Amino acid sequence: MKPLKRILHVEDVPSIQVVTRIALEKLGGFQVLSCASAQQALEQAAAFAPDLILLDMMLPEMDGLELLRQLSSRIDLQRIPVVLLTGQQHPAELNELRHLGVRKLLQKPFDPLQLATQLNEIWEREHE
């Protein structure tokens, strides 16, 4: 099994973006591309070639669901696991989100010290 290395992180709140990036890079040893908007993620996702996508659902201009719909025509979301990092308890679109590649829903606030471990566990389950 190939190790999890490259994570596309889409989050519009600067403080959450910084904490998440530090947790993933320093504690997890991952290469992280942080995008502050869905548009930025659309423009950079294919070239970055992520192993996993960590996605906030509540984004300005385009929500996480619409981003996934558009990303699905650019990258293979059945091969690239998507993890939602959101404050929403139960997104109404959960079935469609799963169809678009969402494997897990992590709640905000989250424990930055556990995030890398959680993503590695999701990755390992995906590749059993």
The pLDDT value recorded for residue 92 is 67
Whether 66 has a pLDDT exceeding 70, the answer reads: yes
Percent of the chain with pLDDT over 90: 76
Q: Does domain 6-126 have CATH number 3.40.50.2300?
A: yes
Whether 91 has a pLDDT exceeding 80, the answer reads: no
* Residues in a beta bridge with 55: 10, 84
Does the reported pTM lie above 0.85? yes
Residue range 71-87, pLDDT digits in tens: 999 999 989 999 998 87
Domain range summary for the chain, segments of one domain joined by + = 6-126
The pLDDT value recorded for residue 75 is 94
Largest CA distance in the chain: 37
